[in-house]
Amino acid sequence: MSRSWSVFDLADKETTITRMERAAARPGYWDDPRQAQKDMQQLGRLKESVALWRDLQTEAATLLELTDLALAEGDDSLEGQLEADGKQLARSLARAEIALTLAGPYDDRPAIVSVYPGAGGADSQDWAKMLLRMYLRWGEVQNRPVQVMDLSYGDEAGLRSATLEVGGAYAYGYLSAERGVHRLVRLSPFDPNLLRHTSFAQVEVLPAAGEEEEVVVRPEDVKLDTFRSSGPGGQNVQKVASAVRLTHQPTGIVVSCQTERSQHQNREYAMRILMARLLARQNEQRATELAKLRGERVAAEWGNQIRSYVLHPYKSVKDHRTNYQSTNPDAVLDGDLDDFIEAYLISQVK
């Protein structure tokens, strides 16, 4: 049993915890409060991880002992309970295995999720609206804080774009599984002949920029424009120009926010999105440079869709990366995404 658990390096983690706790007890540790806070967060995550796996190790050992005892005594009365306990342990192991994938430098941060319709007019814009609702419902079901940061409505229906921030434990780590192109097949409510249409939407998922100086934005590099926010159909919904557009002139990145009545609040949201996109750009440039040094091919295209949602002529949702499939698209579109997210994260465990 001990050999099977060594892959998780629990002893090394426990040694690291002891070392970090000793360091935290030394005089002057909090002289650099920002670094100390980061270390405390890392220490907390290490303790949670070790406690989780030690508890699972204990549960597995207890279950094995009970099984051996029942077999030795020929006691069939515990068979049902042992089977139930085994299934529960398997589920716990699966969730813990997923946690192993969430070890990236940004996985524990809030996620900034943006949805953009592809070509296809009202159908694709309506599909973007459906995806936005799906992520809002997922956040609600998960009891996560969710803030809609920007909405740009389509002329006829749906959305031209939408951005929201999702918080809670490992929000970016989980939602990074949703990054990519999502495809919808259905009978179009916008087609007078009710013909079947295929729509596409792009989902962008970025980690929120941290308080540390990962990205430096000079005020003189950001151009601020204000305008009146608009509602469905393009009509102006406010007399005051409270909507904000920020242009980062060195990179050309443009961000807008118009969900709040306060120009100050919209500017704050826009700056958070801008910082996240600058952080992503910075990391992409580093990855590209590293790939070039290694002689790897660097692709810049969107790529094929990651998931297909079919509402007609049959009902199905299939993730093309993992082949995980559901025959209940209504539940998936109502926020039941955990099985898809977990299947993808498990597939990333090497």
For the chain (350 residues), the mean pLDDT of every run of 10, in chain order, is 48 89 90 84 80 85 85 76 82 75 85 91 94 97 93 89 92 94 93 88 91 79 86 55 90 89 89 93 82 57 79 96 96 96 84
**pLDDT the model gives residue 301:** 44
β partners of residue 213: none
Q: Domains, the chain, ranges and CATH?
A: 2-101 (1.20.58), 107-208+307-350 (3.30.70.1660), 209-296 (3.30.160.20)
For residue 234, what are the contacts with CB-CB under 8 A and spacing of at least 6?
153, 155
Q: Are strands 222-227 and 196-207 parallel, antiparallel or unpaired?
A: unpaired
- Alpha helix ranges (H) inside the chain: 2-5, 10-24, 33-73, 79-101, 122-141, 171-175, 263-294, 329-333, 338-347
Residue type, 152: S
3-state secondary structure of 23: helix
User: Six-digit token pair at 298?
Assistant: 């660097």
Could you give the residue ranges of the DSSP H alpha helices within 222-316?
Answer: 263-294
pLDDT at 327: 97
Q: Report pLDDT for 350.
A: 56
CA gap 278, 114 in Å, rounded: 15
- Please report the pLDDT score of residue 119 as a whole number: 78
Beta strand 180-187 with 305-310 is parallel
